[in-house]
Amino acid sequence: MVWQNWSGRHRAADATLLHVRSEADAQARIAESSGPVRICGAGHSHAPLVPTDGTILDLSGLAGVISSDQQSRRAWVGAASRIFSLGRPLHQAGLALINQGDIDQQAICGAVATGTHGTGHTLRNLSAAVTGVRLITADGKALTVNESENTDLWPAIRLHLGAFGVITRLELQCREAYRLRERGWKATFTDLEADIPSLIEEHRHFEFFWYPHNDTAIAKTIDETEDEPEYPLAAEGGRCAWSYEVLPNHRPDKHTEMEYSVPAAQGLACFKAIRELLQTRFTNVRWPVEYRTLAADDVWLSSAYQRDTVTISVHQDVNEDETAYYQACEAIFLAFDGRPHWGKVHYLSGDELARRHPKWQDWWRVRNAVDPEGRFLNDHLRRLRGG
Ligand SMILES: Cc1cc2nc3c(=O)[nH]c(=O)nc-3n(C[C@H](O)[C@H](O)[C@H](O)COP(=O)(O)OP(=O)(O)OC[C@H]3O[C@@H](n4cnc5c(N)ncnc54)[C@H](O)[C@@H]3O)c2cc1C
């Protein structure tokens, strides 16, 4: 069986793909072997984070809500739980994820590995919701990592890039179950522009997709409501139901994606520079640009580390060569002090990443201490590290 990612862009033809269904098996496999190991989630990263010519571990069997605590509103979940599989059991425990991304197909541990996020200016990414981790290290030991145990690992591991070891379960900060009402509409960018700051400020969630061929945006707001859920669910843009039913969308068209996080105050200016690029140099691109917001956090490699953020994503069909378009976008993002999404396309070197992430060297120091031989690295991560 050959591992490949969601878009088919990345394959690991020479890897041995193994399925692990218990923590004990994961420990034994790591302890008894010596070659490189990567762990796959749901394969939804556009960056080549998983491929290796060693072993790829698929932890799909380690899924589901393991325990939940009403008082702290925290839950331990299997690392490979697909996000869509968490909604219902958390709801039955009176809980819900604080926010979710555009889709809910990712494994929760894969999503936190790259700082996956949704939208909302007061809402942080999924990595910031992690309150504990169960880790199998390169020597086969199982550790619990949280604010009070193995504290050296703690600030680094919430956004881990699969580079610390095998994570078998995660503890997540949730909140009480809640209902949401979504409102979507279409507008020309010129009509929408003036309202964007107040739409961000006044709504729990605001985002838009802008389409270059007609200069039109599909915008939406989502807010908490006490209204009863409306079934059958309306289409995207008109739903009213529990959070786990309203937040995820269906995005089946195969594409590649680049996303950068820029300081919130620079978001609109950066978006307008990307819009001008599409209107003047890349007039054949039909895929939209997505605009979202994200609250500052304290996760070392988070794209929102210590700064309120706007995220801007550009897309291209998976069968097209996106390089020239993405390189031109990246030059703009960098001019706006952007930080790349770890799960999407970017062309930065370790030195460039170090300039953008104040905790870059600290993250590698902590990582290298727990895996000195680099067993949990692949070519992509070694390139990011710089050698
Ligand atoms: C259609 C689509 C929509 C998307 N929407 C959004 C969005 O709205 N917001 C956003 O921020 N991103 C989005 N993304 C990006 C996506 O959320 C991230 O790339 C995410 O990391 C993918 O998760 P995954 O489970 O597929 O993990 P993979 O891509 O399989 O792996 C990601 C990383 O996690 C590591 N990993 C996975 N499981 C473990 C484990 N148990 N132990 C140790 N390491 C592990 C892997 O080694 C790898 O480094 C989207 C991607 C696609 C294709």
| Calculated CA dihedral for residues 86, 117, 74, 89, nearest 10 degrees | -10
Mutate to test the pocket of ligand 1, among 10, 114, 158, 209 (most ligand atoms within 8 A of CB): 114
Q: Phi then psi for 243, rounded to 5 degrees?
A: -55, -40
Of ligand 1's listed atoms, the one at least distance from the Cα of 112 is 21
∠ at Cα 272 (312, 261), nearest 5°?
25
Nearest-atom index, ligand 1, CA of 44? 26
Cβ neighbours of residue 250 closer than 8 Å, sequence gap 6 or more: 103, 236
| Max CA pair span of the chain | 62
Mean pLDDT of 20-38: 93
**Neighbouring C-beta atoms of residue 8, cutoff 10 Å:** 11
Predicted pLDDT at 386: 86
Q: Which pLDDT value is given to residue 355?
A: 96
pLDDT in tens, 252-307: 999 999 999 999 999 999 999 999 999 999 999 999 999 999 999 999 999 999 99
Q: What is the pLDDT of residue 33?
A: 82
Between CA 255 and CA 232 the distance in angstroms is 29
pLDDT score of 387 more than 70: no
Q: Is 44 in the pocket of ligand 1 (CB under 6 A)?
A: yes
Nearest to 170 by CA among 234, 79, 273: 79
Who's near 150: CB < 8 A, 6+ residues apart? 143, 144
Looking at the fold, whether 79 and 159 belong to one and the same domain comes out as yes
Q: Is residue 34 part of a domain?
A: no
Nearest Cα residue to atom 20 of ligand 1:
111
The CATH number for 264's domain is: 3.40.462.10
Query: Whose CA is closest to atom 11 on ligand 1?
Result: 116
Instruction: Verify whether ligand 1 is closer than 6 Å to residue 59 (CB atom).
Output: yes
Instruction: Say which residues have a Cβ less than 8 Å from residue 271's Cβ, sequence separation at least 6.
Output: 210, 289, 291, 310, 312
Q: Is the model's pTM score more than 0.95?
A: yes
Distances (CA, A) of 135 to 23, 145, 160: 9, 7, 11
pLDDT at 56 over 70: yes
Q: Are residues 198 and 309 in the same domain?
A: yes
Task: Tell me the average pLDDT across 199-218.
Answer: 98
107 CB under 6 A from ligand 1? yes
Domain assignment present for residue 232? The answer is yes
Classify residue 383: in a domain, yes or no: no
Domain span at 128: 65-177
Do 226 and 293 belong to one domain?
Answer: yes
> How far is it, in rounded angstroms, from Cα 181 to Cα 305?
29
Percent of the chain, pLDDT > 90?
98
Average pLDDT over residues 58-73: 97
Q: Are residues 85 and 224 in the same domain?
A: no
Among the three residues 177, 205, 233, which one is the final residue of a domain in this structure? Answer: 177
Cα gap 209→193, rounded to integer Å: 13
Query: What average pLDDT does this structure show over 168-194?
Result: 98
CATH number for the domain spanning 84: value is 3.30.465.10
In a domain, 306, yes or no: yes
Ligand 1, atom 41: closest residue by C-alpha? 167
Distance between first and last Cα of the chain? 30
Please choose from 11, 45, 82 the residue to mutate so as to test ligand 1's pocket, defined by most ligand atoms within 8 A of CB: 45
Taking the centre of ligand 1 as the mean of its atom positions, its distance from the CA of residue 269, in whole angstroms, is: 28
For ligand 1, say whether the CB of 303 is within 6 Å of any of its atoms: no
> Rounded to whole angstroms, how far apart are CA atoms 295 and 306?
9
How much is the average pLDDT of 190-198?
98
Give yes or no for a cis peptide into 232 (omega within 30° of 0).
yes
Residue 258 CA to residue 275 CA, distance in Å, equals 15
Question: How large a percentage of the chain has pLDDT more than 70?
Answer: 100
Best mutation site among 23, 52, 81, 106 for ligand 1 pocket (most ligand atoms within 8 Å of CB): 106
- As beta bridge partners, residue 225 has 179
Q: pLDDT of 98-138, one tens digit each?
A: 999 999 999 999 999 999 999 999 999 999 999 999 999 99
pLDDT-based confidence at residue 34 (cuts at 50, 70, 90)? confident
Ligand 1 near 50 CB (within 6 A):
yes
pLDDT the model gives residue 185: 98
Q: Give the domain-ending residue among 130, 152, 177.
A: 177
Ligand 1 near 161 CB (within 6 A): yes
Residue 356 lies in a domain: no
Q: Write down the mean pLDDT value for the chain.
A: 97
For 46, 65, 306, the CA distances from 127, given in Å and listed in that order, are 18, 18, 14
Residues 132 and 269 in one domain: no
For ligand 1, atom 32, name the residue with the nearest CA.
110
Mutate to test the pocket of ligand 1, among 38, 44, 83, 105 (most ligand atoms within 8 A of CB): 44
167 lines ligand 1 (CB under 6 A): yes
Domains of the chain: total: 2
Last residue of one domain, picked from the residues 316, 340, 364: 340
Residue ID of nearest Cα to ligand 1 atom 35: 162
Query: Can you tell me whether residue 324 is helix, strand or coil?
Result: helix
